Amino acid sequence: MTATAFITHKDCWLHEMGPYHPECADRLSAINDRLIAAGMDLFLAFHDAPVATVEQLSRAHPQEHVEGLLANVPESGIRHLDPDTAVCPGSMKAAVRAAGAGILAVDLVMSKEVENAFCAVRPPGHHAEKAKAMGFCFFNNVAVAAHHAMAEHGLERVAIIDFDVHHGNGTEDIFKDDPRVMMASIFQHPFYPYSGTDNPAPNMVNVPVPAGTRGDAFRQIVTDIWMPALRKHNPQLIVISAGFDSHYEDDMGSLGLVEADYVWVTEQLRALADECAEKRIVSILEGGYALSSLARSVVSHIKALADI
Ligand SMILES: [Zn+2]
């Protein structure tokens, strides 16, 4: 058995938000190049992401909102939804594959075809709230995946882990009143989107950290705060909002994580998944905009998932 699936789709290259936008298709090309250069392509099970259906997307978002987004693409050029989030003619083709990747990943780990899966997709999702696209995000890919696992596979407890430099406000918005889903996150604060610190629900284990926080403090927080809460929740599936803009070299934020920290946290989560989730981990790309550190970090993360 190949332990780890790698899921992507060429339509994820079709979404663009204008010249020089940091959330660009080159991110996925950099990941692919590095994966091949590292010889990792021999060890992974490659899959094309399917299209997420309106029904699947509508578990995380109101159906009217989903249909509105799908219909709101320009015939040419770019249309802005907020100052940093825009759609082009191919945007929704990419967005439904990004969400569909998480759906397939859940199906693959539930059927035990693989132990875990990484989804190299864009647009990212964790800022997408129930009824609001924002922050480069349209559909909340991790939320769609978690809902699919509960609705189609009958899971009762899921954990979402988020180590992106930004708070996953969308994921919190979708699950704050749903005790089946626990979210554990770390994020730079104060920083965009300026959320995650006011009266979080009991199932939201959000840890704001100041700019300049490095890996030693990150590991302490994971050990002291995330892990006890995660063991208590006892998730049957772990979904990762894998954002690599928390890397030291990424100018989008000011945290100081490096590849070894992503490997370490991945190993902690694999140990947890071995204990309570029959090894099941679904990891979905969020941020990460410095192409070199993004690609190195993703490959390190996948090596840790695949235990290579
Ligand atoms: Zn981010």
What's the pLDDT tens digit per position in 6-61? 999 999 999 999 999 999 999 999 999 999 999 998 899 999 999 999 999 999 99
Considering only residues 255 and 84, tell me which one the structure prediction assigns the higher pLDDT.
255
Residue 73 tokens read as 């693409």
pLDDT at 136 over 90: yes
Quick: pLDDT tens for 172-207: 999 999 999 999 999 999 999 999 998 889 999 999
H/E segment holding residue 79: strand 79-82
What is the Å distance from ligand 1's center to 219 Cα? Answer: 19
What is the Å distance from ligand 1's center to 233 Cα? Answer: 25
% the chain with pLDDT above 70: 100
The active-site residue, picked from 127, 147, 148, 301, is 127
Instruction: For residue 188, report the phi and psi dihedrals to the nearest 5 degrees.
Output: -70, 135
Q: 111, 114, 138: which is closest to 124 by C-alpha?
A: 138
Would you state the pLDDT for residue 204? Answer: 97
pTM: 0.99
Rounded mean pLDDT of 73-101? 97
Would you state the pLDDT for residue 21? Answer: 96
Rounded mean pLDDT of 82-111? 97
Rounded mean pLDDT of 288-296? 98
196 and 169 in contact (C-beta within 8 Å)?
yes
d(CA 2, CA 9): 20
162 and 187 in contact (C-beta within 8 Å)?
yes
When pLDDT is cut at 50, 70 and 90, the band that residue 2 belongs to is: confident
Would you state the pLDDT for residue 198? Answer: 87
What is the Å distance from ligand 1's center to 164 Cα? Answer: 5
When pLDDT is cut at 50, 70 and 90, the band that residue 1 belongs to is: low
d(CA 106, CA 212): 35
What is the Å distance from ligand 1's center to 250 Cα? Answer: 10
3-state secondary structure of 23: coil
Chain mean pLDDT for the chain: 97
Q: Which residues surround ligand 1, an ion (CB under 5 A)?
A: 164, 166, 243, 245, 287
When pLDDT is cut at 50, 70 and 90, the band that residue 247 belongs to is: very high
Rounded mean pLDDT of 120-147? 98
102 and 142 in contact (C-beta within 8 Å)?
yes
* Residue 127 annotated to the active site: yes
Would you state the pLDDT for residue 200? Answer: 87
Would you state the pLDDT for residue 42? Answer: 87
Q: Tokens 């509960």 label which residue?
A: 150
233-262-254-122 Cα dihedral, nearest 10 degrees: -80
Q: Count how many Cα atoms sit within 13 Å of the Cα of residue 215 in the half-sphere of its side chain.
A: 11
Quick: pLDDT tens for 203-223: 999 999 999 999 999 999 999
143 and 125 in contact (C-beta within 8 Å)?
yes
What is the Å distance from ligand 1's center to 245 Cα? Answer: 6
Q: How far apart are the first and last CA of the chain?
A: 14
Rounded mean pLDDT of 97-115? 98
80 backbone φψ class: left, alpha, beta (φ>0; ψ -120 to 50):
beta
140 and 60 in contact (C-beta within 8 Å)?
yes
